[in-house]
Amino acid sequence: MIDRWTRGALIAIGLCAMPAPGIAQDDLDVAPDSLSLQVTTDPSMIECRRLEAVNPASLAFLPLRRTFNDDFDQHPLASGRWVPHYAGGAAWPEARYWGGDGSDFKRKTSANGEQQIYVDPRYAGRAATPLGLDPFKVKDGVLSIVASRTPPELKPVLFNNEYISGILTTQGKFAQKHGYFEIRAKLPVGHAVWPAFWMLADDGGWPPEVDVLEGRGERPGDLVMTTHWRIPSTQKIQSCGFDFAVGDASSAFHNYGVLWEEDRLIYFIDRRPVSDIKVPIGFDDPMYMIVNLAIGSKFFLGVGPVDAESPPSVAFEIDRISVYQIDMAQARR
């Protein structure tokens, strides 16, 4: 989600239907205390590949134990697990997220061409008191991050952004090195609509970045999973990822996840491995999670700028977010 397409990145993108090389031994609609994922075990010499036809001999089940879970049975800000804005750090590009609570620097990524501002009930923008805007709705155990057009009378107070929307991050609350990170969600569609579930290093640096899921709102059923890293010798950003076709992604809940092992990252749809990459250099620190609904983009294919066809309101529906750690004791048995 952070200015990834404009820094000389080397990008490998392809569209394919979701493959089915194997399936985990667990129900998809729950986050059990322990989980087994079918993973690739062949030597991780291939830098980035889509797993369309996997040799069964190269697959094995990996045991994991749950370390984080939010079923969103209550407002996300009531649990203390989430923060409704970026926190940032000195290593972030141009320290662009250092703005105070009254600014919009921690509440959008301007370089991407985003046209929303992330709000929460306590956010005041340029006003002297909180505006009471709440983009987070919870019903029947489902969190909806709702983006809606900014009321005209609030535009000057909200830095003239076209939309108000929401973001949740676990920076300063929860981070983990290695393990499996998963969201169960429905992806919204529409002109300029850009839902995402992604991860950044807890030390505030960028990259590395792991985009577990990004929806292309103008291409229903099309989603992308991408890894970003920096080449130390040149300081250039490189990226590798693939598009996947999930036809009912906007109408049905699916699980989207990434397994971060010591030597590779494996991406999953409904707990089936769909792509993997040898872990690039720089993946040294624990990572925290971000889930958000952006509106508008300059560079991300399938998400253009806001126009007359952009929906007046749209929701990113999230059933749960879960994290697991590799159970080394079980793995050795």
List, by residue number, the catalytic residues.
209, 214
Residue 75 has which token pair? 């407002």
Residue 78 identity: A
Determine the Cα–Cα distance for residues 221 and 214; give it in Å rounded to an integer: 11
Determine the Cα–Cα distance for residues 6 and 290; give it in Å rounded to an integer: 21
Q: What are phi and psi of 111, to 5 degrees?
A: -60, -25
Residue 29 identity: D
Contact yes or no for 212/225 (Cβ under 8 A)? yes
Q: Among 245, 214, 192, 223, which Cα is nearest to 2's?
A: 214
Residue 142 has which token pair? 């489902």
Determine the Cα–Cα distance for residues 279 and 51; give it in Å rounded to an integer: 16
Contact yes or no for 75/181 (Cβ under 8 A)? no
Q: Among 214, 246, 197, 297, which Cα is nearest to 15's?
A: 246
